[in-house]
Amino acid sequence: MAKRNKRENKSKDWPCRMCGECCVNIPIEDSLVNQMRDKFQRNVIKEFSSPGIIRGPRYLTIKTSDDKCVFLDFNNKCVIYEHRPSICQDFGRRPGPLECVHITPSGRIRTPEESKKIKIKINRLQNEMAAMYGDFDEKMFGVHYISKD
């Protein structure tokens, strides 16, 4: 039996380019962040904390100097791959603001023209979400800053 690549998506047919474009600052359950804090790969500027919705878990968003995920190493490899959040496991598999610009939700590699079009669509969707909810800052969802300076 062949050993699977650790960065390979759940589906054997998912042709991930390991570009790291999807590995950005996203809310992660605080229990996971605290458990894996010793695996941080980037400089932390600030941590944003928000309560869970309807008695759910609390979340932290770790702001880094380059806006990449704190667990992404400089070779675009996730150092907590086996424990990564579900949003990371599912990224690109649904149309919308979390769609991969290089691969369709069905796993087909996009043409360069399709990639350009989907980038425009995703930017528009993200701008619409920002207009509805505001920029991700201390005003959004009762979030407050936890300074790490």
Q: What is the pLDDT along the chain (149 residues), one digit of tens a residue?
A: 333 333 344 445 568 788 888 888 888 888 999 999 999 999 999 888 776 555 667 888 888 988 899 999 999 999 999 999 888 888 888 887 778 889 998 889 999 999 999 888 887 877 776 676 555 444 333 333 333 33
Return the structure tokens found at 34.
């605290």
Residue 5 lies in a domain: no
Residue 22 lies in a domain: no
Residue 115 lies in a domain: yes
Residue 9 lies in a domain: no
What is the extent of the structural domain holding 41? 28-147
Give the predicted TM-score (pTM) of the model: 0.70
| Number of structural domains found in the chain | 1
8 Å CB contact between 146 and 138: no
Cα atoms found within 13 Å of the Cα of residue 105, Cβ hemisphere only: 9
Residue 45 to residue 67: CA distance in whole angstroms: 10
Cα atoms found within 13 Å of the Cα of residue 14, Cβ hemisphere only: 17
Residue 2 lies in a domain: no
